[in-house]
Amino acid sequence: VRKPSSFISTISDDRGDELTYAGMPISSVFAQDLGVGGVLSLLWFKRRLPTYATKFIDMVLMVTADHGPAVSGAHNTIVCARAGKDLISSLVSGLLTIGPRFGGALDEAARQF
């Protein structure tokens, strides 16, 4: 005879009729248009953060969304490191990929320097 498992989370609760995040029903999350920052505040901080804080979380996600491991410099650095190269070789392989298609921020900063 198998005993049913009961998992208790301090963040979300799906035991009732509706899923809740930190005590807030999911329908309220959508109705109040909390956005990603608001949802993260409920899930990570277990409370609703002020609007300026949730907007800051949203802004950080938007600004950094395209700067993950998929950009050429980061990708080359990761590939070299996974191939067993030393730290300097891996770093240089990423730095050497910086060019006009890398985003241009570094080129423009160099011109102003």
Quick one: tokens of 4? Answer: 């049913």
User: What secondary structure does DSSP assign to 42-59, as a single string?
Assistant: HHHHSSPPPHHHHHHHHH
Q: What is the pLDDT of residue 1?
A: 72
51 vs 102: CA distance, rounded Å: 34
Task: List all residues 6 or more positions away from 33 whose beta carbon is below 8 Å from its beta carbon.
Answer: none
65 vs 49: CA distance, rounded Å: 22
State pLDDT tens for residues 7-20. 667 777 777 788 88
Q: What global pTM score does this model have? A: 0.53
Residue 13's DSSP bridge partners are: 20
State pLDDT tens for residues 9-48. 777 777 778 888 888 999 999 999 999 999 999 999 999 9
